[in-house]
Amino acid sequence: MPVILPVKGVSPVMGANCFIAPNATVVGEVTMGDDCSIWFNAVLRGDVNFIRMGNKVNVQDGAIIHCTYQKFGTTVGNNVSIGHNAIVHGCVIDDNVLVGMGAIVMDNVHIGSNSIIAAGAVVLENTIVEPGSVYAGIPAKKVKDVSQELIHGEIDRIANNYVMYSSWFANPQQP
């Protein structure tokens, strides 16, 4: 069973149709919208500040979402994919964003809508990622604008696939 624990009397709140993997950890002031999925070995620690997630957010295997004590909570919009082993910490992620595998998003970062953070990128503190941008590298810098093909072919496709994947666990007999 997943580890779902209150911290200081505050328990996680999940919307409809959410999937939490059996070895995922969700603690404290974590609020999820509908159709969210928290995958194997993912950790959401709302212990030192809040984590607020919109609808259709997937936090993939080994990813970590945390915040900064008395400074920065973490807000994640709708239709967001946080890739395998990514770290998202004390920041704001707007709607329709893909955070690539192994990326690190640090405190007080604001990622605008329709953006992609490339795999392995490190988005340094206080960075503002303009909407519709691809950021890559260490430290992450804008490398190009996001095309409509990337929005539909990557951002939307991945978020929609994870809703489908999570349904397989809710209905294991379904092909």
How confident is the model over 132-142, as a mean pLDDT?
98
Question: Over 80: is that where the pLDDT of 171 sits?
Answer: no
How confident is the model over 63-68, as a mean pLDDT?
98
Percent of the chain scoring above 70 in pLDDT: 97
Each residue's pLDDT tens digit, 8-45 = 999 999 999 999 999 999 999 999 999 999 999 999 99
Report pLDDT for 172. Answer: 60
Please report the domains of the chain, with CATH numbers, ordered by start residue: 3-170 (2.160.10.10)
Report pLDDT for 33. Answer: 98
Note every long-range contact of 94-102, with CB atoms under 8 Å and residues 24 or more positions apart, other chains counting.
94/131, 95/54, 96/151, 96/155, 96/156, 97/155, 98/154, 98/155, 98/158, 101/60
How confident is the model over 134-156, as a mean pLDDT?
95
Each residue's pLDDT tens digit, 55-64 = 999 999 999 9
How confident is the model over 134-155, as a mean pLDDT?
95
Each residue's pLDDT tens digit, 79-109 = 999 999 999 999 999 999 999 999 999 999 9
Q: Extract the tokens encoding 33.
A: 């919208």
**CA pair distance 82, 65, nearest whole angstrom:** 9
Q: DSSP characters for 67-101?
A: -BTTTB-EEE-SSEEE-TT-EEES-EE-SSEEE-T
Say whether pTM exceeds 0.85: yes
pLDDT band at 170 (very low <50, low <70, confident <90, very high): confident
Higher pLDDT among residues 149 and 87, named by residue: 87
pLDDT band at 122 (very low <50, low <70, confident <90, very high): very high
Question: Over 90: is that where the pLDDT of 50 sits?
Answer: yes
